[in-house]
Structures are given as structure tokens and as C-alpha cells.
Amino acid sequence: MPRRFSTEHRFGVFVFRRRFWIIAKIDEGTDPAFAGEAVNFSWLAMTIVSLRQGRGSRMDASKVTFESVQQAAARITGVAHRTPVMTCSALDGIAGRRLFFKCENFQKVGAFKFRGAFNAVGQLSEEDAAKGVVTHSSGNHAQALALAAKMRGVPAYIVMPATAPFVKKAAVEGYGAEVIVCEPNLAARESTASEVQARTGATFIHPYDNDDVIAGQGTAMLELFDQVAELGASLDAVITPVGGGGLLGGTCIAAHGLDSSVRVFAGEPAGADDAARSFEAGKLIPQTGPKTIADGLLTSLGQRNWSIIQQHVEQIVTVSDDEIVAAMRLLWERAKLLVEPSSAVVLAAILSGQFTPNRQVESVGVVLSGGNVDLERLPWL
Amino acid sequence: MPRRFSTEHRFGVFVFRRRFWIIAKIDEGTDPAFAGEAVNFSWLAMTIVSLRQGRGSRMDASKVTFESVQQAAARITGVAHRTPVMTCSALDGIAGRRLFFKCENFQKVGAFKFRGAFNAVGQLSEEDAAKGVVTHSSGNHAQALALAAKMRGVPAYIVMPATAPFVKKAAVEGYGAEVIVCEPNLAARESTASEVQARTGATFIHPYDNDDVIAGQGTAMLELFDQVAELGASLDAVITPVGGGGLLGGTCIAAHGLDSSVRVFAGEPAGADDAARSFEAGKLIPQTGPKTIADGLLTSLGQRNWSIIQQHVEQIVTVSDDEIVAAMRLLWERAKLLVEPSSAVVLAAILSGQFTPNRQVESVGVVLSGGNVDLERLPWL
């Protein structure tokens, strides 16, 4: 089978393996300290990548297609929730547009992350799957991967910093995963994850810079289009939050696969605005020192997602933490939608002066990414 | 047309008119002070009713039929939200049963009350409707009636005590109703409502002791059965909270109209347990001095609803405020369902030792009645 792996492909694998040890450590951890370090490390990784220019950028482009999103959808049907699409006339009135909320806060583990994790675990060979999966995250990806592994009946190893909230560890353990606690610094996380891989042979599943994950996240958009059609409506535009870009990347491929004319927007916290700055500069600019209440959006945009977003997204709207909290409260109070701050970013974006001048955007599909909130500490109290 | 109104019917109208001035003043107001007075008044009303025994009890029996619920459903289709039915494997695990949550917290005005109010306003003749509708309430019925009247394009007059929270007045005014503020005592509310009626000719719409309202509330159950069937499942039992009994009454008629073998349960706060005590005693016992966090369930059971509940309900489970708060937190944290304490009563009931011994109750349809919570004061903070 001489053509089974092309030279380019093999080189890609080589580069991927070299980069694995770097990129693989970047996570969307919701612990700001944890994420802050990840981000600094991301900056290092991106620097290495940019030194490779030409080669590296080709290797890192996403290969996600509309077909891979459709295959992911077939894989998750009957497993992931087909989350409801909700409307709220009060919020429509405030926005001056029809908003169709795709409620991924009701997804398994409380966030869209389950879609990508389940799809990625499902793609593993029997042999690889049996050795398990590993990631490090104290965020929604950790729970999502733990549950996806449990459902396939394979081990999951989740590396978490000792500073992660107890409730997050308990949630991951509740899904049957083995939590490996490490010191809250990069070296410890890296060495701990390496030890787990060496010991177990587990496959690392990156939270967003992974084509199977991206394809999985795109499945929410397929459902949203169907559900809006069932309501007798259609979408002029869609919007998602952007952090690492897995959701936004998958959304781009799915939405434009269904309707090339639909406009794709993103909302991003002003305090972690690497996607917006990259978009403006036309090149990937890593996030350093993020500071925002939207703790799911602290990380740098992934290479694969950047390659998609550049081609598909019309505008990335940045919003302040005050705008995020106000939008979150509107969603809770008026729409009874219990979402986390990272989800409220999209409503904040829609209400922002950066977005409001957009014309011919009568109906918007809005992805509410998750609902994992610390109910002891609401941001308006 | 000599037979258009029978003697009995005419006498019924007479009795209704006499009782109007009494029963009509009882509301499900969420302001405990307000409701407390309503309840004392209710006690007076019930005393008068029981003195009439024989006659009165016949006159006050509900005439709601399965057909009237179906007619109500036709009337609200495309107007009320067909609220989603949600499932949560974590809560199923805790309960040891499959739970299908009918999420009326996502209904217009954030509660099932819109169904009954819209149905009742829709039944008025053009002539009566033009004169408007009146109620007094500081709870969900106030907003529901205000919105239903707005949608028909007729005036709504809502009498509210001066002590009602500002946000509730603002919400009612936001639906275009005229709020008439009165002193927070029975005499003032009564005279104020009478003045409004004398001045405007508006029709009083009771929040629960009204057959059109009861039929409207039953429509949620028709949807729930359909939606559970769409999920490939069926229901062994259904459960709703009980306060005035409009939701429970409508649920009984609808559920047993669809499936005479389905078991009907209710959850009630121990601090306002008149339905449970009535059920045990076999006669209507009014509520006095209610004290519970479930502020939508403070009132006495309505006569019409009592006549239904006696025949259809298997068990009324009473729960403490601690159980209600714990269940509310479970719904928020595990299912991401933003419900008010009155809704959490049903999950608390399902988890209660009074309910758990029930056998052959594998799948339960659970009506979550509303989501109007003061987000400044969460009960666990």
C-alpha cells in the first residue's frame, strides 16, 4: 500500500508529533491561573509554529469538511441530547431581531463540549480506545471527555491542577474518570500528562485543536438549522462565542455547508480578544494575560480553527465583562436560561454597538454554549 | 328561547354572583402578607360555602371536561409556547425513575398561568372583552392576565398591594396593563377591585377557581403526553405542585382523558398543606397562616379544583422548605433548569420518603410550573 500515507501526510504526522508535546498542553481550563499559564505556553507554541511558517501553517490547517460534520452527527444521534431551540419575545424586542437560542447548556455535562469529545473518542480504533484517553482541563472538556470515555467503556485520565475547585474534580470522578492531581504549573501538568501517556498509552484529546472535536462541535449547527426550519423560520446569521475556536470552527463548516449565504459572527470577551485581534491583523496572534469573567474563553485560538475562521467569519464582536454580566442576567431573568458567562458573550455581542449597525440580519441563530455556573457566586451579587 | 338557561343554571348564576364578591378576592399573590390575608378571607368564604352545604357544593363543582381542555389547546396553539420536555440522567439516577420535565418555566410570562389566562380571556364575548378584565394578584397570574388581555387588545386592570415588589409592578405594566395600587389589606383590595369593575365593567378572572382557567392549565398535560410519546416513552404517573389547584385540576382532567390508568400525584409545601389535609379528611379544609418559601402555593385550594382532585389524585406529598430548596438547587445545578421554589416542590416530593415506596412508577411526567425567581435572593445563599 505505497500510497496509503503520502510523503506530505507522513511529514504532517512528524510535525504533528513534534508539536503534540506543545500544543497538546493548551487547554480551556476554567481556572484562571491554570489557563493563564496555558496561554503563556500557547504563546511559546505559536512562536515555534510561526518560525516554521509555510510548512507549519499548511500542516495545521483543519481538514474538517461538511461531510465530517454530518458523520459526527450520525455518530452522536441518540447519544447527545438534541438540545432545544428556544425563543424569547422579550429578548427579541431588546435586540430588535429574532433570536433562536440553541441551548447547549442542556447538553450532557452542561455544555456543547460533549459533542466533540464523544466524536473524537468514537473515532479511535478499538486498540487505541482500549488504552484510554487523556487530557488536562479543569473545564467542561474534562467532564465531556470523562463521560464520552465512560460511554465507550474505556479509561479516561484527566490531569487537573491542585487548585481546581473540588466540585469540578468530583464531577469528573462522578463520570468514572481517574483524576490525576498535579501542581498548578505548566511543568507539572506536562510531566504528569506525559507520565500518564507513558504508563497507559492513552490518546491525548485536545479540547479544540483537533479535527474530530471540531466536527463534533459543528453538529449543534446542523440541528439548529433543522429546528429553526421546523419553526417555520430561516436564519440570516449565526453567532457563537470564541475561545479556542472549536465551536466556532465547527459552526462555520456546518453552517456554510448548509447555506453558503448565512452570515457567521462571533462574540469574544474584550479581556481575551486574541481572535478579534488576529482577525484584524490577518494573522494568528496568541492570547497573553487574559482577564475576563467568561472563564471558558481564556485560551488562544487553535491553529486549525484559525484556518477555518479566517475564511468563514464576517465579524468578531468584543464585549466587556459588564456587558457579559448584563446579558447573562437578561438570559436568566427574561428567558429563564441558566447559562454560564461564556455563553452570555453572544447575547452581549448582539446588543453591542459593534453589531447593531449590521443590516439584513433579521433572524439570528445563537449558540448558548454551556450552563456550568458556580451557584454560590453569581456575578451580579 | 325558554330552555336556554335552566332553573339550576340561573340559580347557579345567582349563587355565583353572590359568591363572586367573596371568592373572587382570593388570589395566589406571591407577597406572603398579601396572600396571608387572602387566605384568611378564603377561610371566611369557605365557611359561608360550607354553611350552604348540599346546594353550594353542587354549584361549585367544576364542569371542566376533556373536551374543554382540548378546545383550550386549540385556542392556545401558536400563541402559548409548546414548552420543551427535558430529561436529565443525573436526576433520573437520584430519583431511581425516569423523569420527564414539562418546562413551564419557559412559558410566556415564565409560568403555566398564561395558558389559563389566555383561554379565559378568549372565552369572553366581544362585548365583555371590550370592557377588559380585572384581577388582583402580585404573582404570575397578574402578568399572565395582563399579557393575555394585551394579545386580545383589551384592557387589563391589575390590583396590587403597595407592598408588592417594584419589579412585579414593572413587569405587569410592561405588558400594557393598568396597575391599580391599593393598601395591603383585604378591604382596600376588595373596594379597589369593585371600583374598577363599577367604573369599567371589566370581567373578574379568578386565578384558579374558574373553569376556563382550569381547562387552559390542563393543556400542558396534552403536550407532555405527546412529547413523551415522541421520545418513544410513556408515562406511568404525572405530578404537579398544588396551591389553588388550577394546574392540578386541569392536569387530572387532561391526563385521565388521555389515559385513565395514569396515576396522578401532587406535591405541596408542608407549610401550606391544606390540599393534603383536605385529602386526608375527605372535605375541603381552608389554609390558614401559610408559611413556606414556595410563594406560589400559599392559597387555599379552590372549590372547583377540590371537586376534581378528590376524584382523580392518588397521593398528595408534603415537603419541607429544606427539601424544596435542595430540590431547587438540584434542578438548577444538574438540569440547568431555572425554576422557582413552587416548581421545585414536585422534585422534592418525588425524592420524599412519602413517595419513594410507590411501586410501578417507572416514568413520571413532572410539571415545572414556573421560573420567576428573585435573582438577588437565592434561597441557598
Query: Active-site residue B25, yes or no?
Result: no
User: Hey, which residues does A319 pair with through a beta bridge?
Assistant: A269
The answer to whether A336 contacts B371, with C-beta atoms less than 8 Å apart, is yes
Q: Which of A87, A108, A381 sits opposite B376 (nearest CB)?
A: A381
The answer to whether B89 contacts A105, with C-beta atoms less than 8 Å apart, is no
ipTM of the complex: 0.83
As a whole number of angstroms, the distance between CA A158 and CA A156 comes to: 6
As a whole number of angstroms, the distance between CA B57 and CA A158 comes to: 65
Q: In A, which residues are within 8 Å of B105 by CB distance?
A: 336
pLDDT tens for the 381 residues of chain B, in order: 333 333 333 333 333 333 333 232 233 333 333 333 333 333 333 333 333 333 334 457 899 999 999 999 999 999 999 999 999 999 999 999 999 999 999 999 999 999 999 999 999 999 999 999 999 887 899 999 999 999 999 999 999 988 888 878 888 999 999 999 999 876 787 789 889 999 999 999 999 999 999 999 999 999 999 999 999 999 999 999 999 999 999 999 999 999 999 999 999 999 999 999 999 999 999 998 899 999 999 989 999 999 999 999 999 999 999 999 999 999 999 999 999 999 999 999 999 999 999 999 999 999 999 999 989 999 998
Looking at chain A, the domain(s) classified CATH 3.40.50.1100 span 30-61+114-204, 66-112+210-368
Q: Are B265 and B313 in contact (CB under 8 A)?
A: yes
As a whole number of angstroms, the distance between CA A225 and CA B165 comes to: 40
Q: Which of B108, B333, B375 sits opposite A332 (nearest CB)?
A: B375
User: Hey, which residues does A85 pair with through a beta bridge?
Assistant: A102
- Write down the residue that cell numbers 408559611 correspond to: B291
Find, among A374, A371, A373, A375, the residue nearest to A102 by Cα. Answer: A371
Show the cell assigned to A324: 457579559
**List of residues 6+ apart from A242 with CB closer than 8 A:** A248, A266, A267, A268, A275, A297, A301, A309, A316
Q: In A, which residues are within 8 Å of B374 by CB distance?
A: none
User: Hey, which residues does A370 pair with through a beta bridge?
Assistant: A111
The CATH number of domain B66-112+210-368 is 3.40.50.720 = no
Q: In A, which residues are within 8 Å of B375 by CB distance?
A: 329, 332-333, 378, 380
Q: Among the options B113, B137, B278, B307, which is catalytic?
A: B113
- Write down the residue that cell numbers 383536605 correspond to: B278
The answer to whether B89 contacts A108, with C-beta atoms less than 8 Å apart, is yes
* Residue pairs between chains A and B whose CB atoms are closer than 8 Å: 43
**How do residues A209-243 score in pLDDT, each as one tens digit?**
999 999 999 999 999 999 999 999 999 999 999 99
Q: Which of B106, B378, B381 sits opposite A86 (nearest CB)?
A: B106
Which active-site residues of A does the annotation give?
113, 138
**Does the predicted model carry a pTM greater than 0.95?**
no
Tell me how close the Cα of B118 comes to any Cα of chain A, in angstroms.
17
What is each CA distance from B12 to B5, B6, B18, B52, B304, in whole angstroms? 10, 9, 10, 13, 13
As a whole number of angstroms, the distance between CA A129 and CA B189 comes to: 69
Tell me how close the Cα of A48 comes to any Cα of chain B, in angstroms.
41
Strands annotated E in chain A: 85-86, 98-103, 133-136, 156-161, 178-182, 203-204, 237-241, 263-269, 313-319, 363-368
Substitution target in B336, B342, B369 with the highest count of A β-carbons within 10 Å is B336
Q: Which of A371, A380, A381 sits opposite B336 (nearest CB)?
A: A371
Nearest chain A residue to B105 by CA distance is A336
Q: In B, which residues are within 8 Å of A380 by CB distance?
A: 375-376
Q: Which fold has domain A30-61+114-204?
A: Rossmann fold (3.40.50)
Helix (H, G, I), strand (E, B) or coil at A332: helix
The answer to whether B336 contacts A336, with C-beta atoms less than 8 Å apart, is no
Q: In B, which residues are within 8 Å of A333 by CB distance?
A: 375
Sign of CA dihedral A139, A141, A143, A146: negative
As a whole number of angstroms, the distance between CA B198 and CA B313 comes to: 40
The answer to whether A332 contacts B376, with C-beta atoms less than 8 Å apart, is no
Q: In A, which residues are within 8 Å of B84 by CB distance?
A: 84, 86
